[in-house]
Structure 1
Amino acid sequence: MKLNHFFLFLLFLLPCTVAGQKQKTYFVSVSGKDSNPGTLEKPFATLQKARDVVSSQRKLHQDAVITVFLRQGSYFLAQSFVLDSLNSGTKQAPITYSAYQNEKVSITGGITISPGKAVPVTNRNVLSRLLPEARSRVLQVNLKALGIKNYGTIQPKGFGRAYTTTAMELFCNKEAMKPARWPNDSLVPIGKVIDPGSIPRNGDFSHRGGKFTYNVQRPARWTKATDIWISGFFKYGYADDAVKIGNLDTTNKTLTTVQETMYGFESGKIFQRWYAFNLLEEIDEPGEYYIDREAGMLYFLPPVGKLETIELSLTEEPLVVMENAAYVQFKNIIFECSRGMGAYIERGRANKIDHCTFRNLGMVAVSLGKGIQMDGFQHTGTGQPTSRIIGNLYGHLYDNTTFDREAGSGHVISNCQIYNTGAGGIILGGGNRVTLQRGDNQVVNCRIYNFNRIERSYKAGVNIDGVGNVIRNCEIYNCPGSAILLHGNDHLIEYNVIHDAVKDGDDMGAIYYGRDPSELGNKVKNNFFHHIGNEHGVIMAVYHDDGACGMEVTGNVFYKAGSRNIMIGGGNDNVYRNNIFIDCPLAFHLDNRLMGWAKGFVAKDGLYEKRLKAVNYQQAPYSERYPSISNYFKDNPGLPKRNFIEGNVFVNVKSLHNGKPEWSYIGKNFILNSDPGFVDYEKMNFELLPTSEVYKQLPEFVNIPFSQIGVQKDQNKKSDVYRQPVRTRRLR
């Protein structure tokens, strides 16, 4: 009895201890001074000063909950704001950097120019290059006269190339403007290819650009332009690229590029097209601009409506860096107008970015884990792990599949809006692929959209790697390529809405992974995929490429989700149960490519043996966690097997699958051509009514919790993240 009383006494003390915990509060303001004490009345001027004071206070008061409030305004960072172990909190006493109350706070890597500095163009030489209908509307800003001289350098961007910072970009009224291009909203077919250029993928590293013909008149206007670039899909529909024109022959209508592309140039397919950009001559739509780097002049056609703000990106480093920090939170802050990434996290634990907005960034919003510095332009290789970059991470991962990026654990990105980024949304690392230690890093309740302003393929809304990380309750949409790219093991992708994805190109998936049979244990649960793909490409909602194995896909809804909803390209142990497929020509593509053109992957000393040995596949923990993997090469590895398709509902699906019977197990499914009893078919509410025929045909079918899918409203916070999504023009 006395012992019970003692425990009750402890329970009584616990809330008293928390309630009595020290609270420390500091303030930062754009009108403050670092010589101030950091109070509400006398705030600091910089984040750096606040950080240093917090660090010193932490030594004196280790149990204090510390909050740094930023007052309204934009805080320009020329270099990263860095936090490390000396600037960390604890689970009971975190450190928080937050906007004060409902004030709008921006951490920016750009500078603001008064709209009054934008004046009409008067230089006759410049006017002669502009289109007649644009001459009176284009404005100019003399950047050099304002002391702005760092314009950056346009670099090749695209498939197989390293993530790099962008050149200076223009943002008006908080929206990203676009380098002047032609055509404005379409592409031009590649003509006859005279020289495909050197092809690094085939081992040719001679750095020879390609040469092809064109059959349009427009380039005749570009004879005075000296820095023209083209972008497009030059060989494959999953490999976009951007390269500089070295020679434009308007007499013979040929175009020669300075740089090679990964696969060379080819013509004839519908997606093998290009557009030109960085052309003064093509400023003809509101929002287009051109920077004359030699003259230090900005030319642009303002957006429709009042021109309220002009911003130019300058900073190339991550705006915020957390290296070996713990229990640090950023809340209610806008990260914007940078040439690189918004935030970088390495090592540490339990850091949180909550209710923040990331927009108008040159690369990604957040990257968790080290990147790779690698010389040259090559599809694969081994580089140097490097902090605060992404670099050629995926070329390195191809050859070094167990690379531990040291991303730390327990980090959370939640309730954020991420949009208008240049090369994807979030790079989510964490965990160890050899030991299968989980990262437990999470992206939760975020809206991620319009994240491919500059690079369009293999730069996903979330690139997830490592072991045991989570993407939950997000909405990922409006992207030309994939929504999620996956590497690693035991990841959980659940309760997300993925729509209007893979709107360009060919041979891609909204969720994509492949070519490594050791990447097992991943789960895709209770997601809603809709309006995936485009009018010409072979596009999937979930793409198990080149022998991908061991994914469990359950409780999902696929509506108009690709030319084929699922592609299982020769892999094993992929399980599809309790899903609903609606309105598609082909639900499952199944093939045995590992017995055909890809049989070299499973050959002795081939790629798959190398990748399986890298994780010690015949030993624990792999042999225990995934028992079938130990016998991979003894079990006819080229033959697809144990792919289960059972307990699913198919509505208005023309064909269930196109594979041979031995490549999968087709159990009992419910197939029909009418509404099986959805709550509201027309409004895309595909939750089943209690009276649905599905329960009669499939008694074990579990209703998919449709209302729990997608971004959920936080009852404790009203945020922009809960607004209705951006309207999307549907392709079909």
Structure 2
Amino acid sequence: MFKRLESDRTPARGLPSGGWPSLARFTCLVLLLAVAALDAWAAAPGATFYVSTEGSDAWTGRLPAPNRDHTDGPFASVSRARDAIRALKAGPGPSGPLTVQIRGGQYFLERPLSFGVEDSGTAQGPVSYEAYRGEHPEFIGGRRLVPPASSPGAPVVFSLPETGAGPWAFRSLFVDGRREVRARYPNVEAADPRKAFLYVKPAPDQLSFGVSVGGIHHPGDWLEYRVQVPADGDYLLWLHYGALNAPYGVTAMDGRTWVQVDGQRTFPLGDLADTGGWSPARWAKAARIRLSAGTHLLRWQNQKGGGLVLDALVLCDDAAWMPQGTMTAAPEKGHRVVLPARAFARSHGRQITVNGAGSGPRNAIWCARDEVHPAWLEAPDAEVHVFQSGDSRAFSEILSIRGYDPAEGRLLLGGPEAHSALNPGDRYYIENVKEELDAPGEWFLDARARSLTYLPRSSFSARSEVIVPMTTRLIQVEGGRSAETPVHHLRFSGLTFRDTDWVRGGASAGYGMGDDGAILFANAEACAVEDCRFLNLGAYAVCLDQGRRNTVRGCDVAHAGGGGVLIRGGRDNQITDNHLHHLGEAYQHVGGIVLEGVGASGNDVSHNAIHDTSRYGISLKEPGEKNVIAFNRIQNTNLETYDSGGIEVTQHDRAFRSGSAIRNNLVADTIGFSSIFGEPIYMSWGIYLDSFASGYEVSGNVVCRTWNGGVMLQGGKENRVTNNVFVDGQVSQGTIANYQGQSSGLKVNANILAFSSPEAVAFDTGTLGPGVLQMDRNLYFPPGGVPPVFTSPGAERFSEWQGLGRDAASLVADPRFRMAKGDDYALRPGSPAFRLGFKALPLDQVGPRTRACTCSIRPAGPAFWGTPRPSLKRLAKNTRD
């Protein structure tokens, strides 16, 4: 170029044709060329800056690598590249895309990178921060510690430097890419995490009312109790119960149930008048039983049918004693034996449920004296993590220790999260006590001494990566206060974000879904996170707070303390093609993808793979309208929480109609695990329309291996459930509750319901009056090919169910599943379901299209409930050629 200009004989425009020395003329030409080059660069369609761990913020950032003399090259930080783009945009600026290419390497952040309205791009010229081609830059939310010299297997003690921002307070530690465990008791059990807990003991003489046993209304249902009788005598048997049988012609349950003693003598039960409701509200003096001192086996049994909900049974040999409400003082003379109804040793019944909040205190639990370690009481920051069975089983509480009463064995607790009843049997563990540092992988932070003690795993070495997180957030994008001033057209692509911390509050306290992410967008429009990887996070990966038309595509999220993507009031966003797994490692009340708030409308959640979560796969909390949940694969959800769903909707507005669709998803292994009084319990549905969720289309889904069934319709209106496959609900295949009598216009048509448990039913329903349900053209495939059974008032047999105008054209037949692999419930040609109007499902389109899940997923259902029953093999055998 210089040679061409130098040989050009034509004077440059604006220069004299002669009179200047040739050197001066040449210098002027060079300067003009430089200015012209800069102008041309600025006016180009786009511009690119580079960032590298080998760069310098004093350089121009326009070279991908340092030049030969190290006088120019890439920037060292993204913040410097951001500022360079701001400066460029402040001038004439390029009209095309502005790109920051980030070279491979590790970029440590102790506070989030911030972007505002001034960092926006345009539709024609978006601003992108992306990985340099073929390289993998990582943004790490903390500091790396260098392991000190130590003996193999001995505790490694790190001396922490001053932070310059107060004491160290991290709740997470990452070693060689693994989230390690704060010193705790009992230790984590890798083989079965359910065993890693202590269980609250009953208080002395605590009766523990409030947890009742229901679903025992079938002839032949029974509950069996072992009871220690203190002395020979005639004992009155008192029952605390509720009953609502009058609408079905049974005004009292007298003589319809009995108690059998030691498999021999039977005593019919009386004084069981209808109470007008199912909540236990009345004491019945049901029978007089002669008992000898010693251990006896008492079996309560339903002989003739009709409903009872039992709360407690009391035996007392003082004829003058009477219980009063739930306060049952000991008799002045004689003996009293209390049997909480939920304390049965064995049971039989296809619909038995244990429900209720209990009546324990909110600020104390009782422990066996040998369970309380003195170090707990001395540790200044010890935490008690309680999975309470009281007000909810959706989250755990983190409480502090306020003291211990050794006379009663009562551990006194407190803190801002102490707002749920704590009951005998609730599972809990103690964390952050140095004396409990006894298992490889555990650690303890002494913030006052600035000392971190880590008990290494066998793989630990001087080269191990040890990360202490310093921030909960890595990228913060904030628009203006007005919805009209969003950040827009800002894009992050191909980057890895990892190792952030979590804090108390948010989703750890009550029903909050959280409010933070490794990337937080507040009032953003047309922004994107694409092909990024998120690992070992404290909260969600991406939080979209308000805003619209944003995209999260092709990302992988693993081992997050929260969930995957949280949309808070945002509309018209697209969350697609992502792989989200192992979520809820800090907070339990989270989801793989969550849409929250009435402003969350028009969102597209599709083609994602979500698995292994503490709670939801996808959750819609009081959402807006016209959301689409489609072609997602969801498996192994609700592994730590109860009363939940793989895909869940909560809607309290009784008048709102969503117009949203849940279609063509695969939902497998929805567990719903919790415990009541030390016993495991389960409650979950694959697709759960909770409260008054209305106006939903549920179609084309495959739901398999759930506890309570494939679908729950709680109290909503005008929901349509069509063309779905529901397989192997352990209790039922679906529930239609008609909660508070609010349901109407429900349609359940052309579905397949195939199940293997001989104790499972087709549908469990509340009272269904006129106009509640239209149901027909369904195909049922229960074990043995016999007609299905329902648990519906007045209609348990299939003939009774049909006699009420339901399922008149439905069939009981083998649907002829293809079962080529895994959960392939496609139908073979000739399936009788096609004659009922069932349409083939596009199962090959379920899940991510580019970010495919390659994890080896072990189905959680059999792991929680036991090995597959022989009848499961029947299902596979009968449907294969």
1:24 aligned partner: 47
In 1, are the aligned partners of 2:585 and 2:614 still within 8 Å (CA)? no
In 1, are the aligned partners of 2:121 and 2:127 still within 8 Å (CA)? yes
The reply on whether 1:427 has 2:566 as its aligned counterpart is: yes
Distance 1:170 1:570, change over 3 A: same
Cα distance in 2, alignment partners of residues 316 and 496 from structure 1: 28
Question: Match of 2:81, SS?
Answer: helix
Post-superposition offset of 1:470: 1.9
Q: How many residues align?
A: 575
In 2, are the aligned partners of 1:577 and 1:646 still within 8 Å (CA)? yes
Provide structure 2 residue ranges, at least 5 long, that are not aligned to the other structure. 1-42, 66-72, 190-195, 208-360, 480-485, 503-516, 674-679, 783-812, 866-881
Question: Match of 1:688, SS?
Answer: coil
* Pairing of 1:397-416 with structure 2 (within 5 A): 407-416=546-555
Once the two structures are superposed, what CA deviation does each residue of 1:692-717 show, in whole Å capped at 9, x if it has no partner? 3322x32x322111111012226xxx
Post-superposition offset of 1:106: 1.1
Question: Match of 2:583, SS?
Answer: coil
Distance 1:104 1:218, change over 3 A: farther
Post-superposition offset of 1:510: 2.1
Post-superposition offset of 1:233: 2.0
Cα distance in 2, alignment partners of residues 55 and 142 from structure 1: 40
Aligned partner (choices 82, 97, 106) of residue 114 of structure 2: 82
1:713 aligned partner: 850
* Pairing of 1:321-336 with structure 2 (within 5 A): 321-323=477-479, 324-336=486-498
The reply on whether 1:212 has 2:315 as its aligned counterpart is: no
Normalising by structure 2, what TM-score?
A: 0.62
Once the two structures are superposed, what CA deviation does each residue of 1:337-395 show, in whole Å capped at 9, x if it has no partner? 222531111223211101111222222111111xxxxxxxxxxxxxxxxxxxxxxxxxx
1:191 aligned partner: 201
1:178 aligned partner: 181
* Pairing of 1:521-536 with structure 2 (within 5 A): 521-533=659-671, 534=673, 536=681
In 2, are the aligned partners of 1:506 and 1:538 still within 8 Å (CA)? yes
1:141 aligned partner: 158
The reply on whether 1:731 has 2:864 as its aligned counterpart is: yes
1:473 aligned partner: 607
Distance 1:102 1:322, change over 3 A: farther
In 1, are the aligned partners of 2:686 and 2:704 still within 8 Å (CA)? no
Cα distance in 1, alignment partners of residues 527 and 165 from structure 2: 36
The reply on whether 1:315 has 2:325 as its aligned counterpart is: no
Question: Match of 2:201, SS?
Answer: coil
The reply on whether 1:281 has 2:417 as its aligned counterpart is: no
2:617 aligned partner: 483
Once the two structures are superposed, what CA deviation does each residue of 1:93-148 show, in whole Å capped at 9, x if it has no partner? 22211111222211122101113x26359xxxxxxxxxxxxxx532211114x768
Aligned partner (choices 27, 35, 39) of residue 58 of structure 2: 35
Report the more deviating stretch, 540-549 or 494-503.
540-549
2:98 aligned partner: 66
In 1, are the aligned partners of 2:46 and 2:125 still within 8 Å (CA)? no
Post-superposition offset of 1:221: 5.1
Cα distance in 1, alignment partners of residues 393 and 500 from structure 2: 29
Aligned partner (choices 229, 232, 236) of residue 383 of structure 2: 229
Cα distance in 2, alignment partners of residues 79 and 147 from structure 1: 12
Aligned partner (choices 494, 498, 501) of residue 339 of structure 1: 501
In 1, are the aligned partners of 2:609 and 2:853 still within 8 Å (CA)? no
Cα distance in 2, alignment partners of residues 412 and 328 from structure 1: 11
* Pairing of 1:584-595 with structure 2 (within 5 A): 584=729, 585-594=731-740
Cα distance in 2, alignment partners of residues 723 and 478 from structure 1: 14
* Pairing of 1:312-711 with structure 2 (within 5 A): 312-323=468-479, 324-339=486-501, 341-369=517-545, 407-431=546-570, 439-457=571-589, 459-465=590-596, 466-486=600-620, 487-488=622-623, 489-512=625-648, 513-517=650-654, 518=656, 520-533=658-671, 534=673, 536-584=681-729, 585-594=731-740, 638-652=741-755, 654-659=760-765, 660-662=767-769, 663-673=772-782, 676-680=815-819, 683-695=822-834, 697-698=835-836, 700-711=837-848
1:402 aligned partner: none
The reply on whether 1:103 has 2:106 as its aligned counterpart is: no
Post-superposition offset of 1:581: 0.6
1:530 partner letter: A
Once the two structures are superposed, what CA deviation does each residue of 1:578-615 show, in whole Å capped at 9, x if it has no partner? 00011113122222332xxxxxxxxxxxxxxxxxxxxx
* Pairing of 1:5-24 with structure 2 (within 5 A): 22-24=45-47
Question: Match of 1:315, SS?
Answer: coil
2:605 partner letter: I
Distance 1:238 1:354, change over 3 A: same
2:51 partner letter: V
The reply on whether 1:240 has 2:401 as its aligned counterpart is: no
The reply on whether 1:290 has 2:314 as its aligned counterpart is: no
Cα distance in 2, alignment partners of residues 34 and 543 from structure 1: 53
Report the more deviating stretch, 654-663 or 284-293.
654-663
2:663 partner letter: K
Report the aligned-residue RMSD. 2.6
Question: Match of 2:54, SS?
Answer: coil
In 1, are the aligned partners of 2:710 and 2:727 still within 8 Å (CA)? no
2:470 partner letter: L
Post-superposition offset of 1:282: 2.1
In 1, are the aligned partners of 2:140 and 2:499 still within 8 Å (CA)? yes
Post-superposition offset of 1:423: 2.4
1:137 partner letter: A
Moved over 6 A (4+): none
Normalising by structure 1, what TM-score?
A: 0.74
2:410 partner letter: T
Once the two structures are superposed, what CA deviation does each residue of 1:433-453 show, in whole Å capped at 9, x if it has no partner? xxxxxx211211111122211
Distance 1:316 1:285, change over 3 A: same
Cα distance in 2, alignment partners of residues 481 and 260 from structure 1: 23
Cα distance in 2, alignment partners of residues 245 and 351 from structure 1: 45
Cα distance in 1, alignment partners of residues 489 and 64 from structure 2: 24
Post-superposition offset of 1:219: 2.5
Distance 1:648 1:244, change over 3 A: same
Cα distance in 2, alignment partners of residues 680 and 328 from structure 1: 45
Cα distance in 1, alignment partners of residues 557 and 47 from structure 2: 31
Aligned partner (choices 115, 125, 129) of residue 93 of structure 1: 125
2:761 partner letter: S
Distance 1:193 1:566, change over 3 A: farther
* Pairing of 1:39-50 with structure 2 (within 5 A): 39-41=63-65, 42-50=73-81
1:427 partner letter: L
Question: Match of 1:255, SS?
Answer: strand
Cα distance in 2, alignment partners of residues 262 and 542 from structure 1: 31
Question: Match of 1:54, SS?
Answer: helix
Identity %: 23
